[in-house]
Structure 1
Amino acid sequence: MGLSDADAQAVLRVAGRLTAHPPLDFADVLEAVREVIDCDSASFNDMVLAARDFRYVIVPAAEIAVATRLKPEYDKYFHQHPLIAAATSKPGLGAIRFSDVEGAADFTDTDLYRHFYEPFDVRFQLVVELPSPPDVVVGYALNRSERMGEFSDRDVAVMNALSGHLAMHHRAALDAERALLVNAEMDRHAWAVVSVRSDGAVEASSSQVLNVGDRVPEELASIVVAADSTPGEEAQHDVMIGTQRWHCIVHPVRLGPTVLFLRRQQDVAADAAALLGAGLTRRQADVVIALARTGGSNNELAQELGMSESTVKKHLEGVFRVLNVTSRAAAVLRLRELTAANGDVAR
C-alpha cells in the first residue's frame, strides 16, 4: 500500500526530527511515531535473547509502572511471542502485526498473552525490527487495546516508511553515547583532541579542557598557526594552561582547522597532596604516583622507587584499603578523581 500525500508529509516531518543533533531520546522518538500512528502505548526494545537481557523505553510514562510490574512474566514467556519468532527466523520482514504471522489466531491462548499482554490491556501490536547482531532483537512496538482495534494497512505502510529513519537514529544514538563515554575517558586518562580555526576559536573538542566556541588561551595562540608551520608536519610543545602544564602536539592541515592533541603532564606535588589528604602515607602516595606515570609492574615500581617488590605489594595493599579500591587501575582512577576534586582541571 502506498502513502497518501498527507501521510508522506507526516513521515517526512518525523524523519526530520530523527536527524536532530544530539539525537532525540528514545522516549521522544516514540512520541513522534505516536503522532502519525494512533496507539495506546509504544516501546523501544533492545533484547539479547540468549541472556534474556531485555531493556526497553515505554511511553506514555504512566505505563512504566505497569510494564515494570509485568516484565518478569514477559521474561518468562517471551519465546511464545509470534512476532519475535517471525522476525528472528526471517529478518527484513518490515513492519508486521499479530495478524500477519502464522499462528496469530492462537496467540490469546498463550501464557505470554494471559500473563503479560492481557493484564497490560494489549490485544494488537505493530512492530518493526531494526538491524541488529545475531540473537539480538532491536525494534519498536506499538500497542493497541481491543477497544482501539487492529492496526490498518496504512499504519503498516507508515511504519515501513519510518523504519529506515528509525534505524539511522538508533545508530546515531549509539554512536553519540559511545563517543561521550570515550571522550570522558580520554579527558581523564589520555589525550584531548581539539580543532582550532585560524582565528583561534575552538571548533570542536573531545573534552572540557577547551570549550567549543571559546578562544584558545594566549599560551596556545602563538603555536596554533605558526607562520613557518607546514601542513602535515607536527610540532610539539610544553605549555601552561591555567595552572597546569600540558604537552601539546600541533598538526597543521592544508584545508580546515588546526588539530591539537593535549595531554596533562603529571603534577607530582598536586598528586601527592591529594593522596596524603585522602589518608595515604608518603610512601604509599609515591607508589600510586609512579604507577600512574608508568603503569609498571610491582618489580618495575620497586626498581624505580628503590624498595623491594614485597614492600611495593604491601604499600599497594594499604592503598587499596584506604582508597577503597580493588585494583591498580582503580587506584589510578581514584587519583584522577581526587586531583579533579581539588581543582586539577584546566580551564
Structure 2
Amino acid sequence: MTIQASEARPEAAELPPSAVSATRGGEKQGAAERITLGLFIAVPFLALAAAVPVAWGWGLGWLDLTIAVVMYFVACHGITIGFHRFFTHGSFKANRPLEIALAVAGSLAIEGPLVRWVADHRKHHQFSDKEGDPHSPWRYGETLPALLKGLWWAHMGWLFDEEQTSQAKYAPDLVKDPVMRRISRLFWLWTLISMLIPPLVGGLVTLSWQGALTAFFWGSLVRVALLHHVTWSINSICHAIGERPFKSRDRSGNVWWLAVLSCGESWHNLHHADPTSARHGVLRGQIDSSARLIRWFELAGWATDARWPDAERIAARRTA
C-alpha cells in the first residue's frame, strides 16, 4: 500500500500567535484548565458507569452485556487495526480476505465510510496540532474559553465541518481500489447490519421481543455511543493531556486509562512519534490488544511485514 507523502508543514510564522504557542509543547496547565479537562473527561464516563449498575436486572443482563462487548471489540479493532494501522499507515501487509474483513469490521463502528476516515486521518497527521489539522483541541488557542471550544471541536464538532478532506489527494490508493471503494460506498449497509445484529441475536436467543429490544438498546445504541466517544477522545483528550515520553511535533499524549477501551490507541504519543509502528503501547505494562491481534494474524499467515519497533527504534524516539 502506498501512502501519499506529506507535503511541507506550515511554518509557525503563518499561524496565529495562539496557535503557534499551542504547538510548542511543554507549557504548564493552569488550575482552571485542569479542572475543565477533568470535568470534560470524567462526566460522560461516570454517567455511563452509573447507568450499568442502575440498569442491571432492570433491562440489562448477561446476554445484553455479552452482545455489547463482542460487538464493541469487533468494531473497535476494525477501526484500530483496519482503518488506522493498516489502511491509513500501512503498519503491516494483509492478504485480500483479511483486508476486506478489516474494512467491513471497521465500518461496523459507524464512524464514516472507509475512504473518508482514512483521508481525514492522514490529513490530521500532516498538520497535527497545527493549522490544517481537522480536529486539534488547540485550534482556537489556550485560554479557558478557547480550550472549551477546542475540546468540543476536536471531540465531535469537526464532524459537522462543511469543508471535507479531499479523498483523491489523501487516499488515492483506496480511491483507485474498486473493492475498497465499494465497501466505502456501502457504508449505509454496514450501518444497518451493525445496528440490527444485536436485536437479532437477542431476540433469537430469548425468543422474545423484550430480548430483542434490550439487546438493541445496549448492544446497538449504547455500544455505538461508547465506541464513538472513546474514538473521539483520542482526538480531544489524547491531544490535551497525558504523558509524553517520546519526541513528537505536536501535543499527543499517552492516556493509560483509555488503553483497554481504545484497543491500544490511547498510547498516542508513541503513535505520533512513530506513525507507521504496528504497536503503540511499546513500554512495559502498556496494554495494546490491537498489536496482539496483528501478531496473531502474522502467525496465522494472514499478515506480513508488520513494522514492529525494536529497542533501538524506541530509544531513538525517547525524550530523555
The TM tier, using the shorter chain, reads under 0.3
TM-score computed with the length of structure 1 as normaliser? 0.23
The higher relative CO (CA closer than 8 Å, separation ≥ 6) is in 2
- Rg bigger for which structure? 1
Which structure features the higher share of strand residues? 1
Which structure features the higher share of helix residues? 2
